[in-house]
Structure 1
């Protein structure tokens, strides 16, 4: 009579015999190879987060007016939209900036469509406001490539403009931006003496230039029955034409512009400086070109294609004196990271196969190795089909999964190996062996998936960042199960030989399982005293509970430091400088050059790029922190390039810690503030420590913010303390002036108020009047009127400027305008419709985790405090802690919920399989035992307990449960066959030790290959130490607990 198999046995029998099995395996392998070539490579996962900056001008309004009349109504209008995560705004004199951040996962096109619809409806009710400028921001706005051009002889802007078109033409390139070049313009510097001689004022010159630079399509005229288009007027086409324009006629003689002004190309005064400096050399003027890629394009391919195009251009026509340095190449770093991780994946696979070779034999190793390669190939294809790229997280998911992906194949092959050792033929051994472990293997696979998959639903930025781990691992587990039940039997039938596992002849040996016999004696000696004594079992249980509590205490005494994510080792660091408000561009530039020179003392620094009055190329961090808005004269950046990882002893984080005290004396002497900004290891935040200070009035908020700032600065280890309050320069210094116009006096004198205002603007910052439509320029060139630079700051000279009245008389500004000093108005910040002041800081102490600095400062601050939501207090100052704390709380909260859901799913699966409510509790009992390994492991290696540590801990729940299932299922079948309970549990421990230990070592070996990664180090530590300790304890605890449960059930049955 034929044996009746379950699902696993039937699949194994089909797979073993079917001729289509090897074809399906080959097809899966080819799909994996294809996926390896076509999957885009990136360094970090793409996070679909959309932000939009809405900038609205309100000329002449002070900050409080802008806040009340523009920013607040606009925020309230935007808040009606769906899918909004946060709304931020900042109101300054003359303009408002409202930033709308959509929830993670909201499609960019949908988000922007809704935003533009909302903005259009708002404009209908506010026609008096200027046209808003909307700038959508997303991950694709982060440049993948930075090219810094230097030359002592060339016009770098012209070279960059010339390079833009051929580089933009490269497939996959989204945009080319040029940083550092002054905007193309023609500066008209007026000669006040010459103007006075001919009786002209500034407004008359501006009107003359504007009115003469006009052209229009006048219409058509008929000529001999045909229509001829008529264009009237014409645009100024060159600087020479501009010079020759007639601006007035005096005494019948024309006055040309060149007689009363000097026309020059470029800005009258520089608005930014960019320098490039190699270690030990002088800084050279530079221009940086940045390249962004289109969504979905392979960063590696796009960067390589751009650099190849640049190399071709260098050979063809680029001048030899031009030097081009690649100061950013995220394509190369992504390729290097992916290649390194793929190598680790190969080594991890080889190590697992070597483990099977050592434990079971070479033929078994070939079977397991083939199954693992096929599983990885199909998982890679599934990952591509899901939409993931090849990045550090998705590849780490495969490496970390290698140990659990191989479990199904190892369990199946090991059981076939055991059956062969009993003297069975391959035909007799394979289906029953697979069927015997098939049920628990299927269940164990789904328990691992149940533990991992809920992590895919973590909210916030961290969710999509880490989602490749649970999704790829779950896909891999499902595919490995299918392969283990179908392809592995076919491989075993064709590769293994009869009785090969026993390494003897065709007759089984008298002692077919000597190893199992030795293990049975060992477990009998260990377990019988515990099985026969309830007191000993209770004592052992109490000892384990005490151990678990003690291990949790390691975090309480800071032997294990809690942190969101540790810093990665990168090749770049950014220094962000803020000089005192009102500092000149030259002062900012001078300090930046001093700082760059001082960095020569850091051995790891190879080069710097200095940006004064403009922002350096942004990363994802700069995108979230809006560094691209840093364009004021008192702001600057230094992009620090470090030596390659193999050429330096210190990691980038250690270098960053060393830079701060080195530069502090120079920064403090200038009264400036410097932040050392590292590339974040995960989703970025505004700052590691952020205090949002709320209050009923601006004064209350400012006073509370100053208190928070003082307490943070006094907290050990807290550095880079800053605030959004603008620092006053001194009690005797004027921060702002309002030049008030006497409109009644202006009317009496026959002067339009606008004339006076335009004259003052020309003197102080320049007056845009028209443009030149030169054919050799891609865009029209603006024309701007200036007065000589020495007029700035000279109140008496400014007051002596004249405007012409309706009667032709010259009227000095002093008769119309009066400068009145006014108190400085701070920028007005809002978050989610509430006024706020931000205080930011970083942590660089011994603990190196912002959470400890935050909680230390929080205890010293005498204000109502909230940690999760905005404070409920509206009638007094209060603060909410944000920054890394917020993302840590949200991530660990969601991971904790995912852990709980995973445990519930595991419980339901096990109840469904065993038909018992008590058995699942026994099977899940070892889960807490993982802490006995995890926490000491972190303390021993000095590793921080991070989000990836938590991922490892969650994965362990599924891994350990599968071991329990193998043990319990064996005991259940043995007891059903009539074996005594004590003998059955001892035999189960002995027989199942080899597959359990093999799968445990395989998982640990996979984790060893990610132990050296700064970010995923915590995951590796959790897996290695958690598996090592819990596996040993599981082999003892599960049999004992299950034996107690069976005896209790048996006693209840006997009592009936």
Structure 2
């Protein structure tokens, strides 16, 4: 590798041309490479949903969920099966093994469909639906709603848009957006489907000889859709299309039915004459209610959600989508002026912000390097060091595109982490070139000799740092590996290019621009000049000042000799500091909250609530949000916290953020997505809403929300998981009462923790249900089957599908059911008549009806009944710490001891995810450690030197843990990456120190005789170590100062993603730097002096002199 500096000096045009071409490649790649908020990876989860209207949760579990789970569980690719059985609905979540390759996932879903298809259902009309697009993340959401015309204060009811109008407008927008390049699909949520209802009352229907099956046949016969055949005429072939598709509601009224089965036609009458009313309306109850709102407006809406293709540019797609909508509104005029299309969520804004942060951080790093290095060694050296940064970054961007890395959260994070590492190589080259010049070499020879001297050590330092990150690609698998893929690849590329440019391009710049001061006693840089002035002013008369030795060097020499004299005390002090640091109460957290201009309000009613009841509470919360939105800023101006909100009642819609897992369809659930005017207001707004919804606000006249859980949730940066989750599990069909009792005890323990709130369990309250017990003997005598009774009751209360009315490509289902007043009353159910083979008979003649309390929801995990006890935590509290306190409490230990066989308590949520991730990270650390040890042994060919350098790694943890503790930051995923980065810097410093120590020892050993250490006395050996440290003082200081300076803006204003990592590296680097300069010499002295090992064989070929 010594030929690289020589080649660069001899062929500067070639080197500069290659560097410039690589930089241009990087600029072009930066402008064109795919962009997205989060890494492109495969979430291996699908949902199997099965509806069985009218069935209880327990019946759903036994007859639908359990058979489906047994069939799916037989697939070897399946890792976990979670299910939720509620009244009328089975929802099964199927998770695949992490190690399953992404290209095998679709094949596995096909296997799941095949297994599901072969499972017999309790009724022939029940069909499970497999949704493998459940995990698609929308990049932009539009709310399509009506707004007042310009100048109007409100919408004129006479011109209000119907849900069908919004359906058509949103469909038009969807059709235009799905044609844009890079768009994978466009979904719509909140569309209220039309329906035609033929309704009656139970008393009238019981007197008619007409049955629902006969009514279905009459309607289907009138609504002809079968082909009528073809006619081959002389002029060609003609297709015959029979008329008969329903044109309007009145045609249903005009359908003729017989008064009795024996009528020959004389007593045939129209349906309307039989007391049957026909009306065209919307599905009632609606499966999902969607609203848009801002600080003044509240309107029904349809959400249009865009998903992009893999490898596309999120910024381009979102900009194109917004431009297309604006064009439709303003240019083409295809949308009316009173139709609002408002952006509710736009991930491209976040991506732009992160890219902007990286660019700003790079610029800040360049400026900080220039300023700090200028203050210490002068402007020329500062310019050369700073110039290395943009060239490395831009060159690396071009190279990482070869590895299919995109601009996303992880790759951008790696660029910021790498800034503190890539400066180090340039610092080493420039400092050594300057030192060589001060020793009398010419600028060119000094630059080449410095690079040749440090090249091997720098390469090994770079490789050891790369070795700290690359094993992630081996230790992690599946989605975890795909998620972090960009981080180790980008870091490795940037560090590798940093070393190459340091050995070539930086050598050229150093030879051309760096000039050492002619007189070391008269430096030109501001800080050395100040130090010389202070030394001259305060130095005692007659005391000589060594050439090139300032106050700092003299102080270090004094302290270094002291540390070596008491080497065991020095090492013991470091160990004591490490022990104290490890005992500090630092919390753990996988990912922090994101400072995003969005948060979500979840509204939960008891499981037996209707969607109309949930909607009423959601409207109360919306009104509360509007009241809390105004605030007065620091300048006294009236502002709004809320920009817009989108409400979904009855389910969670789509995944609009990677870490947000939407709820399946549930009538007792509502989700309000709030878009704030500033991300810095999000936390305060969410906390204020939480407090007011619970306690009210007399000043604003707001009453607390009663009978519902109102849960404001700020978004996390990592995988979706509740902060505190404890699972009470019973094997198989475990006794539900025992399971509930255990879960109630766990809930009490969690509620007792002062930092928890919204403690709940996944089963909720039991529901009041009517049980219809059919007497088989009476039913057989009456020629009525159980299925006929179920079909009749289902038709009365839920509606029976008769046919489908068609308007072009628009289809409207036609249902038969009781009128609303009949469906709302359960008192008359015993007097209802059911339809059998012999006609209609009273239900009470064949069945008894009783009211019971039954579970409204049953959760299972791996086919075992499971109740999850969940809780949110107060701001600043650690869910992991609370979980461990509860699990280690005496009450929990007593509960676990009393649980019957087959019952257990498990940890879930964020703690479970953290333990899984940390286990894999520990595996990665282990691989890294092995590779680093091998690299050190290869370089030094010495176990003792390897042990000395590896022994410095714990030094990085001392300041790191203190930093987290002082700044109240937990040890999360990003701080763990900061630890790895810190290890790289410390290893670099240790490797180069050992290299310099050996050089100084070798030089002095050649002239020494008689001493026990290669001819050196202990004092001479220690002086050599101090001299090596003195030579490394300046580059170590510059690396520390520039890295800390570059991290300070991130620590102070980088937000929750960067704050913990930045403070960890700042404190860790400052402490590790100080300790490294004293502990490494002490460790080396122990190895040589105490154990009698030799640094090297004395007759080795001398290394180049520094």
TM-score, length of structure 1 as denominator length:
0.89
Instruction: Name the counterpart of 1:87.
Output: 81
Question: Is the 8 Å Cα contact of residues 82 and 92 (structure 2) preserved in structure 1?
Answer: yes
Instruction: Name the counterpart of 1:761.
Output: 794
1:209-608 matches, within 5 Å, as 209-217=219-227, 219-220=229-230, 222-223=232-233, 228-230=238-240, 234-248=244-258, 252=266, 254-259=268-273, 260-279=276-295, 281=296, 283-315=298-330, 316-456=333-473, 457-458=475-476, 464-496=482-514, 514-516=547-549, 519-531=552-564, 533=565, 536-555=566-585, 560-599=586-625, 600-601=627-628, 603=631, 604-608=641-645
Instruction: Name the counterpart of 2:128.
Output: 132
Task: Specify which of 143, 150, 153 is matched with residue 146 of structure 2.
Answer: 150
C-alpha change, 1:463 and 1:865, in structure 2 (3 Å) is farther
Post-superposition shift, 1:441? 0.9
C-alpha change, 1:217 and 1:521, in structure 2 (3 Å) is same
Post-superposition shift, 1:515? 4.0
C-alpha change, 1:643 and 1:57, in structure 2 (3 Å) is closer
Superimposed CA distance per residue, residues 75-113 of structure 1 (whole angstroms, 9 cap, x where no aligned partner) = 333334344332112234555322111234644552121
Instruction: Name the counterpart of 1:10.
Output: 3
C-alpha change, 1:322 and 1:512, in structure 2 (3 Å) is farther
Post-superposition shift, 1:70? 4.0
Instruction: Name the counterpart of 2:769.
Output: 736
Instruction: Name the counterpart of 1:615.
Output: 652
Post-superposition shift, 1:530? 4.0
Instruction: Name the counterpart of 2:665.
Output: 630
Instruction: Name the counterpart of 1:166.
Output: 176
Instruction: Name the counterpart of 1:71.
Output: 65
Superimposed CA distance per residue, residues 113-152 of structure 1 (whole angstroms, 9 cap, x where no aligned partner) = 1232244256447487744311013653445323242344
Unmatched tracts of structure 2, length 5 or more: 148-154, 524-543, 632-640, 697-702, 1006-1019, 1099-1106
CA distance in 2, matches of 1:883, 1:78: 24
Question: Is the 8 Å Cα contact of residues 416 and 430 (structure 1) preserved in structure 2?
Answer: yes
Query: Bigger CA drift: 691-700 or 857-866?
Result: 857-866
Question: Is the 8 Å Cα contact of residues 451 and 902 (structure 1) preserved in structure 2?
Answer: yes
C-alpha change, 1:117 and 1:895, in structure 2 (3 Å) is closer
1:694 correspondence with 2:727: no
Instruction: Name the counterpart of 1:996.
Output: 1036
Instruction: Name the counterpart of 2:820.
Output: 789
CA distance in 1, matches of 2:658, 2:779: 51
Post-superposition shift, 1:663? 0.8
Post-superposition shift, 1:266? 2.1
Post-superposition shift, 1:754? 5.7
Q: 1:977 aligns to what SS in structure 2?
A: helix
Post-superposition shift, 1:65? 4.5
Query: Bigger CA drift: 39-48 or 700-709?
Result: 39-48
Superimposed CA distance per residue, residues 582-602 of structure 1 (whole angstroms, 9 cap, x where no aligned partner) = 223332222222222223235
Post-superposition shift, 1:200? 3.4
CA distance in 2, matches of 1:147, 1:591: 21
Post-superposition shift, 1:227? 5.5
CA distance in 1, matches of 2:672, 2:469: 42
Q: 2:592 aligns to what SS in structure 1?
A: coil
Instruction: Name the counterpart of 2:706.
Output: 670
Question: Is the 8 Å Cα contact of residues 950 and 1019 (structure 1) preserved in structure 2?
Answer: yes
1:975 correspondence with 2:989: no
C-alpha change, 1:193 and 1:1052, in structure 2 (3 Å) is closer
Unmatched tracts of structure 1, length 5 or more: 1-6, 506-510, 730-734
Question: Is the 8 Å Cα contact of residues 739 and 818 (structure 1) preserved in structure 2?
Answer: yes
CA distance in 2, matches of 1:492, 1:581: 72
1:1016 correspondence with 2:1058: yes
**Matched residue count:** 1017
Question: Is the 8 Å Cα contact of residues 60 and 88 (structure 2) preserved in structure 1?
Answer: yes
Superimposed CA distance per residue, residues 728-761 of structure 1 (whole angstroms, 9 cap, x where no aligned partner) = 36xxxxx111334456545655667666544432
C-alpha change, 1:354 and 1:384, in structure 2 (3 Å) is farther
Query: Bigger CA drift: 479-488 or 352-361?
Result: 352-361
C-alpha change, 1:197 and 1:561, in structure 2 (3 Å) is closer
Post-superposition shift, 1:11? 1.1
RMSD: 3.5
C-alpha change, 1:214 and 1:999, in structure 2 (3 Å) is same
Instruction: Name the counterpart of 2:963.
Output: 937
Q: 1:140 aligns to what SS in structure 2?
A: coil
Superimposed CA distance per residue, residues 161-188 of structure 1 (whole angstroms, 9 cap, x where no aligned partner) = 3322122222222333332231132233
Query: Bigger CA drift: 973-982 or 240-249?
Result: 240-249
CA distance in 2, matches of 1:499, 1:765: 92
1:906-921 matches, within 5 Å, as 906-921=932-947
Instruction: Name the counterpart of 1:711.
Output: 749
C-alpha change, 1:221 and 1:751, in structure 2 (3 Å) is farther
1:96 correspondence with 2:83: no
Question: Is the 8 Å Cα contact of residues 933 and 1028 (structure 1) preserved in structure 2?
Answer: yes
CA distance in 1, matches of 2:593, 2:81: 29
Instruction: Name the counterpart of 1:659.
Output: 689
Instruction: Name the counterpart of 2:635.
Output: none
Post-superposition shift, 1:812? 4.2
Post-superposition shift, 1:862? 4.6
C-alpha change, 1:805 and 1:835, in structure 2 (3 Å) is closer
Instruction: Name the counterpart of 1:720.
Output: 758
Question: Is the 8 Å Cα contact of residues 863 and 878 (structure 1) preserved in structure 2?
Answer: no
CA distance in 2, matches of 1:711, 1:215: 63
CA distance in 2, matches of 1:478, 1:783: 68
C-alpha change, 1:610 and 1:413, in structure 2 (3 Å) is same
CA distance in 1, matches of 2:329, 2:212: 47
Post-superposition shift, 1:25? 0.4
CA distance in 1, matches of 2:972, 2:660: 24
CA distance in 2, matches of 1:890, 1:361: 49
Task: Specify which of 858, 882, 891 is matched with residue 887 of structure 2.
Answer: 858
